[in-house]
Structure 1
Amino acid sequence: MLYLNLDLQYFAADEKTEEATPKKRQDTRKKGQVPKSQDVNTGFLLLLVFGALFLLGGYMKGTMTGMYELAFSEYIHRDLTQKQTHSMFVEMTIEITKVIAPIMGVAIVAGLASNLLQVGIMFTGEPLKVDLKKLDPIKGAKRIFSARALVELLKSLLKISMVGVITFAIIWVNKDQMLMMSQKSVEVALAFFGTITTIMGLASALALLILSVLDYTYQRYDHEKNIRMSKKDIKDEHKNMEGDPQIKAKIKEKQRQMSASRMMSEVPDADVVITNPTHYAIAIKYEESKSEAPFVVAKGVDFLALKIKEVARSNDVITVENRPLARSLYQHSEIDQPIDEQFYKAVAEVLAYVYQLEKKM
């Protein structure tokens, strides 16, 4: 029964039931693993591109018409030489660029805007690294027949159906006018079909954007589910962030030793050591050029206090016994810091006594 309880606790600790920590989120973001919907990109792209076509249609038509007029009114009369061919090619390229460049610019802006809206600014090369695990046929088969693949299939069928229904509905509503275009001029017919095509594109883009909201919600839910952590993972993360307790203890011990060694090197320069007499020892120094008030160069209790007194004795530093002052200075003073104002009078009396004693000696 005991083993069964331990096994249950072990499996419970390994279950991914906890939300990801900020560090886990940051690490997954560095790897390029962020919630993102391609439908948002597609919807923005179609909406802005067809919007640009709707606004710039007249300009594009005029440019293309001008190209045809120039070709059949001027270029057709030119001599077919290398220089003339190069000149015509350059002029045509410039005119075509005037038509294509605005649409390409809008497409680039749409791509950047949709990604910034979902992911924000992110630079990472992790997804570009070669990963041989991706070539594993077993894992590949699992991805193909996974629940995520089924969702993507249903989503694709839904998108095709939506776009098909919208396109058919617009054509069906305008079928009578389409049939009448055979009796209209080419210019009128082209304008009509261009308008219908733009309407179909904008309607499809709006439908995809509505669908992309649902898709992004699902992608975010799936991402949160994939980065969940177990209680053991969280403990391991905290342990790695804080470091091994044994190593931390050794570092602190080393720091204490270095601090004690540095303090001991300052004791010979102290003016006086105030003691408890056995448990506390505080080395005081007054140097007017360094501080307006006396400051503590070393302090300690028990063993460290004995070492301070031993070093002071070896270097002829006067020791003064004052139990309440020693305790108070130890509790309210820091090393290399001036003493508190409340101790000025008491320490001044001690220093005065020390200076008189040194003068007699």
Structure 2
Amino acid sequence: MEFLKLDLQYFAADEKTEKATPKKREDTRKKGQVPKSQDVNTGFLLLLVFGILFLLGPSMKDTMTGMYEHAFRENMLRDVTENQVHTVFVEMTWEISKVIAPIMGVAIVAGVASNLLQVGVMFTGEPLKMDLKKLDPIQGAKKIFSARALVELVKSLLKISMVGVITFSIIWANKNHMMNASQKSVEAALSFFGTTTIIMGLASALALLILSVIDYTYQRYDHEKNIRMSKKDIKDEHKNIEGDPQIKSKIKEKQRQMSSARMMSEVPEADVVITNPTHYAIAIKYDEERSDAPIVVAKGVDFVAQKIKEIAKANDVMQVENRPLARAMYADSEVDQPIDEKFFKAVAEILAYVYRLEKKM
């Protein structure tokens, strides 16, 4: 029964129930894993491209017809030489570029803007790295028959249905004009079919943008679900950030040892060591250049106190027994800091006593 309880606790701790931490989100972003809907890109692209066609359509038509007129009126009469072919090629390329450049420019702007709206500025090479797991047929089969694949299938069918219904409705509404197109001039027929195509494109783009809002919401939900963390993951992350407690304790121990060694090196320069005499030892030094008040250069209890007294004895540093003062100064004084004002009188008397003895000696 106890083993069963432990297993249940382990599985509960390992269950992905917690929201991702900021560090987890940053790590997944660096890997290129961000919520993103391709329908947003497609909708923006179609909307801007057909919008530019609607605005610049007449000038594009004039450019194309002018190019054909020039080709049949002048280019057909030129001699077929290398220079003439080169000249015709350059002229035709320039005229076609004037038509294509606005569309290409708008397409690039649409692609960049739609990605910036979704993921912001992000540069990462992680998705381009070679990953042999992607070649695993079992994992591939799991993706094909996963819930995400089913959602993508439903979404694709919905898009096809929406675009189909929109285009069919517009064509059906203009069926009479289409039937009469043969009775119109070429220019009028081209204008009608161009306008109808642009209307279908804009309507389809708006429908895709509406659908993309739903898709992006789902992508965010799915992304949040995939990056969820277990309580164990959060604890492990916290350990990695803050450091393992055992390692931290070893570092602190090492720092204490270094601090103690540095403190002991100051004892030979002390003026006096105030003792308990068995449990406490406080080494005091008065240096007018460092401070107006005496400074505690070392302090310790038990083993450290004995070590301070041994070093003081070896270096002929005077030791004075004052039990209450030693206890009080150990509690209220810090190493490398001036003593508290309340100890001035007592310490001054001890230093005066020490200086008198040293002068007699």
**TM-score, length of structure 2 as denominator length:** 0.90
Answer with 227-236 or 124-133: which moved more: 227-236
Give 5+ residue unaligned stretches, structure 2: none
Q: Return the offset for 1:109.
A: 1.5
Which amino acid in 2 is paired with 1:261? A
What residue in structure 2 maps to residue 300 of structure 1? 300
Which amino acid in 2 is paired with 1:2? E
SS at match of 1:284: strand
SS at match of 1:297: strand
Which amino acid in 1 is paired with 2:160? I
What residue in structure 2 maps to residue 142 of structure 1? 142
What residue in structure 2 maps to residue 263 of structure 1? 263
What residue in structure 2 maps to residue 165 of structure 1? 165
What residue in structure 1 maps to residue 250 of structure 2? 250
1-structure distance, mates of 2:45, 2:276? 80
2-structure distance, mates of 1:268, 1:335? 15
What residue in structure 1 maps to residue 311 of structure 2? 311
Q: Return the offset for 1:260.
A: 0.6
Q: Return the offset for 1:42.
A: 0.9
SS at match of 2:228: coil
What residue in structure 2 maps to residue 63 of structure 1? 63
What residue in structure 2 maps to residue 120 of structure 1? 120
Q: Return the offset for 1:321.
A: 4.1
What residue in structure 2 maps to residue 95 of structure 1? 95
Map Cα deviations across residues 129-180 of structure 1 (whole Å, 9 max, x no partner). 2222222212211111111111110000000000111111112222222333
Which amino acid in 2 is paired with 1:16? K
Map Cα deviations across residues 301-330 of structure 1 (whole Å, 9 max, x no partner). 322122222212222223344555544544
2-structure distance, mates of 1:332, 1:352? 22
Q: Return the offset for 1:257.
A: 0.9
1:323 and 1:211, CA in 2 relative to 1: closer, same or farther beyond 3 A? farther
2-structure distance, mates of 1:324, 1:64? 104
Answer with 176-185 or 332-341: which moved more: 332-341
SS at match of 1:319: strand
Which amino acid in 1 is paired with 2:119? V
Answer with 291-300 or 303-312: which moved more: 291-300
Aligned length: 361
Map Cα deviations across residues 331-357 of structure 1 (whole Å, 9 max, x no partner). 444333444556556555554444444
Answer with 44-53 or 24-33: which moved more: 24-33
What residue in structure 2 maps to residue 239 of structure 1? 239
1:322 and 1:167, CA in 2 relative to 1: closer, same or farther beyond 3 A? farther
SS at match of 1:283: strand
What residue in structure 1 maps to residue 195 of structure 2? 195
1-structure distance, mates of 2:78, 2:292? 97
Give 5+ residue unaligned stretches, structure 1: none
Q: Return the offset for 1:187.
A: 2.1
2-structure distance, mates of 1:66, 1:326? 104
SS at match of 1:68: helix
Answer with 233-242 or 160-169: which moved more: 233-242
Map Cα deviations across residues 198-240 of structure 1 (whole Å, 9 max, x no partner). 1211111111111111111111111222222222322333333
1-structure distance, mates of 2:121, 2:353? 69
What residue in structure 2 maps to residue 10 of structure 1? 10
Answer with 88-97 or 99-108: which moved more: 88-97
Map Cα deviations across residues 271-304 of structure 1 (whole Å, 9 max, x no partner). 3334444433333334344445543332223221
1:157 and 1:313, CA in 2 relative to 1: closer, same or farther beyond 3 A? same
1-structure distance, mates of 2:347, 2:13? 59
Which amino acid in 1 is paired with 2:226? N
What residue in structure 2 maps to residue 228 of structure 1? 228
What residue in structure 2 maps to residue 25 of structure 1? 25
**TM-score, length of structure 1 as denominator length:** 0.90
Answer with 89-98 or 237-246: which moved more: 237-246
What residue in structure 1 maps to residue 213 of structure 2? 213
What residue in structure 2 maps to residue 39 of structure 1? 39
1-structure distance, mates of 2:93, 2:165? 38
Map Cα deviations across residues 252-281 of structure 1 (whole Å, 9 max, x no partner). 211211111111112222333344444333
